[in-house]
């Protein structure tokens, strides 16, 4: 009788040995690649096509084996794709919301059937993908598609979107838009598979097109050839500069490669925290770089647990020998700066492999913290108090996410509130759900993922007109100004108008003024206004930075009461301000009083918004908070049209959401805003929360754009000014809201008839979202 080699359950539990590793079968993915002869073309108009010139590039895995080749799109392919996207948009948007919801639900079924093939293909290409997350995205947006007729009647699709994609877990074709996707090299095969599956499941041809090739180059070419495209880009700083002046809005999504803090307090479960940091920091396909921050009192315990967990780990295979050299250089530099190493095994002397390494005792200014290189490296820093932990967490220029480990919920929530990041995970990491909006803070993005980000209100400012970039010297923009005027002592208009900085009416730092002409410029002189400049902006920003955190911490009801008080103060000064509008713009007194009345109503509406619009819905598993936070200090260059009403509309949106604001009134019609300063002086708003600086629009735009503390700029002005801001506001990254103010009118926007959807969209533009995840067992 043959002896069975199968172990009994008792023997297995006695030895506690691991079973044989499950080998991943990639037969399904390999079959799909073989069916396409391992040569993947472009996906245009619902089918695979070859590129115009037949060029292609090869995709290799970490071992150097060729997985497949992908086509490289050229000008002719882009033109064909643009035409297909326009036709696809017509077909997709013509469907009813119920029909689109059914298509998206069919995609859920198709993805469930072919999820294994997609996962295997991602494994072959070494691309990060979670099929379950894709299914959840489709379910979420199918619900939005169903509700659009009932709840979003004032919202319309953006049109044709262009997305450069480095992650698979994105949803590209929702709520009536058509999409052109340019995937990264490693994500191209999975995205092409998804496009084929989704078109076969009922998505109209042309609604989803995929171009492969150089992402940045294709982005610019699509912008040049496509007359109705909105760009969403994973790492869009270069694209912002390349498309400046084309009239193409660029939204930078939370980017891959951000540096994120992993904070362990002394009250944490050390075993669980170390297990999770090992899984997050040393995973093969990580999308962010983690920095471990440990409280000094438990750092020895954490390091001991790390040594224990890392004892039997093997070396990690790097993409190339060049990456190995970069990792070696980073480790040597860290050691020279005083860091000590904890490694999983001996460092091989050659080959594209490196052991998992913890760099203990690095400083926040260390290059391995500020500019981490790809590889299995985990910098470890220490802190003593909660304040120091927050300082370390906010040290990075990125603000994508953070993980906090503590069993003290009060400490966790306090730390989460003070961290400037889009997602905070308490005793967990890398959790996401589309029902909670995700915003990148600081340099991690300018748009919000989740919710209604691919719709715009019907009554919003029209998109920038498509045009060719103006040939301009960015270093000279805003330097050509009219000669400043120093009024004579005997001039009665000398002290008639002052600007408003840090809660006080004051002259400009230079002491110079600009003359304000009557309507139509028909000779004469109405008044002198201060000629503000860079130093005035600097003083205003200093005052705003001091007051904004306290204003943001005020309860929504307290902010509402301040806005109601401001509306009441405006009503008390209505005759004086109506007279200023009449004198400055030439409107009749009846029309001027109507604008004042609308302005009072608009301030009251924003006061009502303060405590009514809260965070998003909760996910099904665990608990989570979706918190809208103020952007910080905002700069606003106001339009010429409806000078008072447009000003209070923008003012209400910015301060109702907890921001401080620096406003530049219309250079043509500044007097109504300057008359409003008396209302600000008599209000209970903190000094420095609202600042008004007059002068050259271009000169002050340059000062706002180049100030690193200002987080967002809303601009109504010239095409050159829009192009300058798109090119300049990339380092540090600023949120932009741009509109050409043509002939005194803000495009097609009527400030006197702003719909609720427009006010909501303006409110959403003034906040950034933070999701705090508190999982349950």
CATH class for domain 259-444?
Answer: alpha beta
- Are 261 and 288 within 8 A, CB to CB? no
Strands 623-630 and 767-774: antiparallel
- d(C-alpha 593, C-alpha 576), whole Å: 10
**Architecture category of domain 42-229 in CATH:** 3-Layer(aba) Sandwich (3.40)
Residue 85 and residue 228: Cα distance in Å, rounded? 10
pLDDT of residue 226: 59
CB 451 within 8 A of CB 767: no
130 Rama sector, left if φ>0, alpha if ψ -120 to 50, beta otherwise: beta
| Positive or negative: CA dihedral 23, 29, 31, 36 | negative
Residue 5 confidence class, pLDDT cut points 50, 70, 90: low
Q: What percent of the chain has pLDDT over 90?
A: 27
Query: 750 pLDDT band (50/70/90 cuts)?
Result: confident
Residue 2 has pLDDT above 50, yes or no: no
How does residue 497 score in pLDDT terms, banded at 50, 70 and 90? confident
Structure tokens given for 382:
């220490």
* pLDDT tens readout for residues 286-310: 678 899 999 999 999 999 999 988 8
Q: What is the pLDDT of residue 494?
A: 46
In three-state secondary structure terms, 459 is coil
Place of tokens 């002046």: 245
Residue 493 has pLDDT above 70, yes or no: no
Range in 363-377, 467-481, 705-719 the model is least confident about? 467-481
For the stretch 157-194, pLDDT in tens is 555 555 655 455 555 555 567 788 888 778 888 889 98
Tokens of 110: 């198709």
719 with 245: CB under 8 angstroms? yes
From residue 409, alpha-carbon distances to 403, 430, 624, 629 in Å are 13, 19, 13, 20
Rank 434-443, 487-496, 645-654 by mean pLDDT and report only the highest. Answer: 645-654
pLDDT of residue 618: 43
What tokens does 434 get?
A: 């589309």
Give the pLDDT band of residue 222 (cuts 50, 70, 90).
low
Q: Is the pLDDT of residue 747 over 60?
A: no
The lowest-confidence range among 29-38, 100-109, 171-180, 715-724 is 171-180
Q: What is the CA radius of gyration of the chain?
A: 29
Closest-CA residue to 673 (of 695, 654, 704):
695
Tell which wins on pLDDT, 222 or 702.
702
- Give the number of other CB atoms < 10 A from CB of residue 522: 8
**Coil, strand or helix: which one is 275?**
helix
499-612+628-741+756-769, CATH topology level? Aldehyde Dehydrogenase; Chain A, domain 1 (3.40.605)
For range 510-515, the mean pLDDT: 83
pLDDT of 685 reads: 93
Domain 42-229 matches domain 499-612+628-741+756-769 at the CATH topology level: yes
Q: How far apart are CA 205 and CA 219, in angstroms?
A: 22
Q: Which of 119, 723, 238 is nearest to 473 (CA)?
A: 723
**Domain ranges across the chain:** 42-229, 259-444, 499-612+628-741+756-769
| Tokens 């992993």, residue located | 262
For the residues 483-490, what does the mean pLDDT come to?
55
251 or 546: which leads in pLDDT: 546
Mean pLDDT computed over every residue of the chain:
81
pLDDT over 80 at 683, yes or no? yes
Q: When comparing pLDDT for 153 and 31, which is higher?
A: 31
Query: Are the C-beta atoms of residues 466 and 656 closer than 8 Å to each other?
Result: no
Query: Which pLDDT tens digit goes with each residue over 321-356?
Result: 788 888 888 888 888 888 898 888 877 777 778 888
Structure letter (DSSP) for residue 509: T
The more confident residue out of 649 and 742 is 649
The tokens for 252 are: 């930078």
For 403-451, how does the pLDDT look when each residue is reduced to its tens digit (9 = 90+)?
999 999 899 999 998 999 988 999 988 887 777 777 778 877 777 766 5
- Spatial distance between the Cα atoms of 755 and 757, rounded to a whole number of angstroms: 5
**Interacting residues of 202 by C-beta distance below 8 A, sequence separation 6+:** 103, 106, 107
d(CA 401, CA 577): 46
What are 382-396's pLDDT values in tens digits?
999 999 999 999 988
Q: What is the pLDDT of residue 1?
A: 42
586 burial class (0-12, 13-18, 19+ CB within 10 angstroms)?
middle
- Name the E strands within 465-585: 499-501, 504-506, 513-516, 527-530
| pLDDT, tens digit, 9 for 90 and up, residues 607-649 | 888 877 555 444 445 677 888 889 999 999 999 888 999 999 9
Tokens at 537, concatenated: 């902006």
- DSSP 3-state of 234: coil
pLDDT at position 495 is: 46
Whose structure tokens read 């926007």?
749
pTM of the complete model beyond 0.75: yes
Using CA atoms of 282, 287, 291, 293 in order, give the dihedral in degrees to the nearest 10: -90
Give the per-residue pLDDT at 399: 86
């Amino acid at each position: 009788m043959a002896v069975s080699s199968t172990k009994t359950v008792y023997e297995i539990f006695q030895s506690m040995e691991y079973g044989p590793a499950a080998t991943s079968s990639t037969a399904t993915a390999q079959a799909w690649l073989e069916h396409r002869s391992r040569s993947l073309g472009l996906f245009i108009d619902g089918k695979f096509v070859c590129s115009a010139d037949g060029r292609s590039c090869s995709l290799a895995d970490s071992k150097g084996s060729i997985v497949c080749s992908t086509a490289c799109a050229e000008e002719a392919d882009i033109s064909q794709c643009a035409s297909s996207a326009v036709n696809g948009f017509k077909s997709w948007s013509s469907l009813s919301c119920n029909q689109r919801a059914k298509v998206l639900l069919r995609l859920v079924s198709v993805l469930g059937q072919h999820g294994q093939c997609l996962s295997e293909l991602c494994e072959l290409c070494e691309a990060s993908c979670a099929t379950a997350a894709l299914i959840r995205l489709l379910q979420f947006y199918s619900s939005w598609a169903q509700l659009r007729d009932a709840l979003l009647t004032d919202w319309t699709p953006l049109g044709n979107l262009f997305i450069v994609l480095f992650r698979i877990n994105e949803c590209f074709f929702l709520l009536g838009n058509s999409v052109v996707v340019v995937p990264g090299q490693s994500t191209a095969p999975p995205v092409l598979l998804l496009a084929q599956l989704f078109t076969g499941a009922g998505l109209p041809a042309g609604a989803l097109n995929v171009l492969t090739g150089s992402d940045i180059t294709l982005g610019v070419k699509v912008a040049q050839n496509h007359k109705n495209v909105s760009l969403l880009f994973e790492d869009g700083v270069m694209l912002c500069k390349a498309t400046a002046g084309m009239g193409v809005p660029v939204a930078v999504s939370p980017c891959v490669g951000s540096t994120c803090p992993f904070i362990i307090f002394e009250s944490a479960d050390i075993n669980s925290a170390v297990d999770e940091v090992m899984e997050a920091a040393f995973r093969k396909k990580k999308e962010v770089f983690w920095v471990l921050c440990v409280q000094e009192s438990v750092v020895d315990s954490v390091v001991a647990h790390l040594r224990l967990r890392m004892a039997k780990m093997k070396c990690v295979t790097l993409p190339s020998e060049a990456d190995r050299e970069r990792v070696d250089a980073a480790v040597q530099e860290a050691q020279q700066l005083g860091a000590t190493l904890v490694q999983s095994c001996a460092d091989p002397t050659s080959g594209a492999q490196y052991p998992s390494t913890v760099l203990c005792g690095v400083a926040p200014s260390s290059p391995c913290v500020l500019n981490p290189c790809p590889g299995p490296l985990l910098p470890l820093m220490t802190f003593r108090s909660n304040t120091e932990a927050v300082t370390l967490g906010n040290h990075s220029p990125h603000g994508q996410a953070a993980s906090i480990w503590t069993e003290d919920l009060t400490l966790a929530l306090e730390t989460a509130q003070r961290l400037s990041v889009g997602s905070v995970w308490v005793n967990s990491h890398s959790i996401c759900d589309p029902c909670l909006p995700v915003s990148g803070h600081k340099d991690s993005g300018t748009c919000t993922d989740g919710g209604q980000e691919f719709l715009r209100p019907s009554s919003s400012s029209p998109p920038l007109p498509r045009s060719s970039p103006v040939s301009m010297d960015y270093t000279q923009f805003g330097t050509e100004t009219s000669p400043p005027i120093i009024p004579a002592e005997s001039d009665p208009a000398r002290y008639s108008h002052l600007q408003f900085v840090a809660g006080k009416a004051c002259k400009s730092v230079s002491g110079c003024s600009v003359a304000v002409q009557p309507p139509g410029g028909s000779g004469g002189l109405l008044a002198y206004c201060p000629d503000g400049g860079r130093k005035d902006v600097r003083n205003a920003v200093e005052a705003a930075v001091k007051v904004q955190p306290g204003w943001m911490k005020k309860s929504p009801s307290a902010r509402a009461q301040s806005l109601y008080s401001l509306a009441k103060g405006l009503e008390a000064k209505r005759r004086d301000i109506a007279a200023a509008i009449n004198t400055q713009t030439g409107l009749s007194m009846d029309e001027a009083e109507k604008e004042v009345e609308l302005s009072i109503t608009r301030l009251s509406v924003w006061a009502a918004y303060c405590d009514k619009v809260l965070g998003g819905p909760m996910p099904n598993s665990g608990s989570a908070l979706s918190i809208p936070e103020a952007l910080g200090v905002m700069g606003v260059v106001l339009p010429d049209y409806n000078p008072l009403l447009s000003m209070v509309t923008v003012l209400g949106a910015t301060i109702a959401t907890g921001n401080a604001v620096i406003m530049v009134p219309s250079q043509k019609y500044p007097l109504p805003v300057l008359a409003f300063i008396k209302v600000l002086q008599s209000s209970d708003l903190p000094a420095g929360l609202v600042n008004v600086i007059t002068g050259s629009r271009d000169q002050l735009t340059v000062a706002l754009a180049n100030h690193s503390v200002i987080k967002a700029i809303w601009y109504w002005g010239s095409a050159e000014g829009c192009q300058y801001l798109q090119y300049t506001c990339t380092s540090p990254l600023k949120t932009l809201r741009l509109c050409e103010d043509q002939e005194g009118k803000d495009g097609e926007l009527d400030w006197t008839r702003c719909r609720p959807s427009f006010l909501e969209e303006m409110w959403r533009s003034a906040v950034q979202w933070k999701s705090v995840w508190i999982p349950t067992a």
